[in-house]
Structure 1
């Protein structure tokens, strides 16, 4: 497994530090040690400038707004020079947070981070958090959070599929040369999951791909458990956005866990979408999924995070 190499263990330590030490304990001094001077945050929070000082400020702002903030790290994945962490943030809204005064409400949101490491430090950071859920829990409206950021120049050549390549034909797959046979199998399953089922809308594949008791760890309000609940989400999304398209940009495979990072775009011309009447507006959002695959090749667990706050802002803007 790629995660057993010394360089992989170093990346896993950076991921653990990021969630448990920097965010969980407020040890922002680690930012200088763990992040490159030219750190590129490709999905900054609203109004965030670039650089390490900006990262420290964001951590400080969240910890000031949620004084009892706790971070639960659910999983880390490492492949090549990329890493992924899956987490949940919880606490009490005790101070100003993203411009929203303290409400005393309990907050709980999940997120997924992807990093690229160069010379022992994080050089690139992608992250998706449930910002729409956070705003709802604070009783606030949507945020003006702008347009999605692009990939860094050195990865631009891999930004998306070329002609006839399909939604993930040019996706980056770090560390692929070192994959075990089972990791290669899991990459193929992950491609079917996101490229054929979600991007291609082939709902008939769901019962081939998912375990009958598949657990969605980030269910939508009112979502039924299991495969049928996941299919309901896919159906309402495609009913709302008939021209929905997805571009899968990266896969990170570590043993039985796979992360995919994607961009979704389309036109809201169909049914209600997150409570918004058909607007005829174009949108583009980022997202990431992490899945666990069992020995039989079935997906048993799914974690996911989408820029739904950005989506709502684009539909209402």
Structure 2
């Protein structure tokens, strides 16, 4: 059944692309080196389609009976996942998860990584806030483990801050955080997000392997993120693109911001729990642990990062961060959120 469903998706996708010569290419179009990786990409997209359609039958087909989903707040079974997404649909009409195609779906061994953009309209209670009729947009990043054409494990990072700030549940404090980091401030207390470079945009330089991408990602983490030295940014391109807005483009902004951030939490550590590298892309999920020195408050949040590698450095970056917990660590949001 699962193979038939995936074949249908592949056939439909290829047909759609044949009908339209203007549709940008995605990771489905020759990016993966093996049929197994191609099938894993399709499997992840089937999961997203099942979420959007609230198709519980598809969930039972796609997810193993032993399926477990983890985030920093706890663990959900297959049945709990159905309830979780049903709850989101009840809170937001027109709720849709869309694969962030400029990032693509990455596959390495038995792991799949993708970033999704989430949109909807707040028409039901969410986090104790009655319907406001406001449109919401945020991101959720995912890593799946697959086996025997089924998804068996799932790790996700969701930016709920953008939703909560959008519906007035919390104040917009992103600009205050940027002020702490010494970078230009975003309007309305929410970072401005760009879609980034199209997946099929022309590239300079030679072909990049997954191992090379993984090594660049490691250099980035071992650089300013760990040392707090602003100049430790040789893993980034001079014209590095930061698509999710917490710093402006350019590696100097990134390095200077991390020097300030590390100064605030000198014992902080980003532990990469999952890394998925394929061709010129690498994705990771990290747990952040440490202490804000001035206040003595613990650091406890998760982030997911996607990098595009070009000419031996990270040219482009997308992320999803649990900003609610991050801002709580810095004392910008109350603990009862």
Do both proteins adopt the same fold according to a TM-score greater than 0.5, normalized to the shorter chain?
A: yes
Q: Distance in 2 between the 1:24 and 1:226 partners?
A: 36
Determine whether 1:72 maps to 2:98: yes
Q: Distance in 1 between the 2:280 and 2:297 partners?
A: 39
From 52, 58, 64, the counterpart of 1:30: 58
- Residue matched to 1:247: 271
Q: Distance in 2 between the 1:114 and 1:298 partners?
A: 23
- Residue matched to 1:154: none
- Residue matched to 1:306: 321
Structure 1 regions of 5+ residues with no counterpart? 143-179, 271-278
The answer to whether the 8 A contact 1:186-1:256 is kept is yes
Report the Cα offset of residue 312 of structure 1. Answer: 4.0
- Residue matched to 1:131: 160
Q: How many pairs align?
A: 265
The answer to whether the 8 A contact 1:34-1:122 is kept is yes
- Residue matched to 2:76: 50
- Decide whether aligned partners of structure 1 residues 67 and 2 sit closer, same or farther in structure 2, where only a CA change above 3 A counts: closer
For 1:228-272, what per-residue CA distance to the aligned partner results, in whole angstroms no more than 9, with x for missing partners? 3323432332232122122222221111000122121111124xx
- Which SS does the other structure have where 1:203 is aligned? coil
Q: Distance in 1 between the 2:243 and 2:315 partners?
A: 11
The answer to whether the 8 A contact 1:41-1:50 is kept is yes
Residues 251-260 or 61-70, more deviating: 61-70
Higher relative contact order (CA 8 A, sep 6+): 1
From 103, 115, 118, the counterpart of 1:86: 115
- Which SS does the other structure have where 2:129 is aligned? coil
- Residue matched to 2:252: 228
- Residue matched to 1:213: 239
With normalisation by structure 1, the TM-score equals 0.76
The answer to whether the 8 A contact 1:28-1:59 is kept is no
Give matches, 1:136-147, under 5 Å: 136-141=165-170
Determine whether 1:280 maps to 2:274: no
- Which SS does the other structure have where 2:304 is aligned? strand
- Between structure 1 and structure 2, the one with the greater Rg is 2
What RMSD over aligned residues (CA atoms) do the two structures have, in Å?
2.4
- Residue matched to 1:4: 33
Structure 2 regions of 5+ residues with no counterpart? 1-29, 172-206
Report the Cα offset of residue 2 of structure 1. Answer: 8.9
For 1:95-123, what per-residue CA distance to the aligned partner results, in whole angstroms no more than 9, with x for missing partners? 12243211122211112100111222111
